[in-house]
């Protein structure tokens, strides 16, 4: 009967260790997920910033070219 208790305690301890390992794995995956989300957010932010800069630059370039066209058409009239 003493051996049965030892086996039962060992089984309980083993189950606790397995449960603890599962919890650690879940925490590890959550941390990886958080890091990936942060990296993705910063990448998206950088891409949005670059797109906005390129868009504004294209807008200003188009405004400059329209001004030149208007000036040249006025001066030729």
The mean per-residue pLDDT over the stretch 2-15 comes to 69
**Count of domains forming the chain:** 1
The mean per-residue pLDDT over the stretch 18-25 comes to 91
Is the pLDDT at 19 greater than 50? The verdict is yes
Domain housing 74 = 1-77
In this prediction, residue 2 carries a pLDDT of: 46
The predicted-structure confidence for 35-77, as pLDDT tens digits, reads as follows 888 888 888 888 888 888 888 777 777 766 555 544 444 444 4
In this prediction, residue 53 carries a pLDDT of: 84
CA dihedral sign, ordered 30, 34, 35, 37: positive
């Amino acid at each position: 009967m003493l051996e049965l208790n030892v086996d039962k305690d060992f089984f309980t301890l083993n189950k606790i260790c397995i449960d603890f390992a599962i919890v650690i794995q879940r925490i590890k995956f959550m941390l990886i997920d958080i890091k990936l989300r942060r990296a993705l957010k910063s990448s998206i932010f950088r891409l949005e910033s670059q797109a906005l800069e390129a868009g504004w630059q294209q807008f200003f370039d188009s405004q400059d070219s329209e001004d030149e066209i208007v000036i040249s058409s006025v001066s030729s009239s």
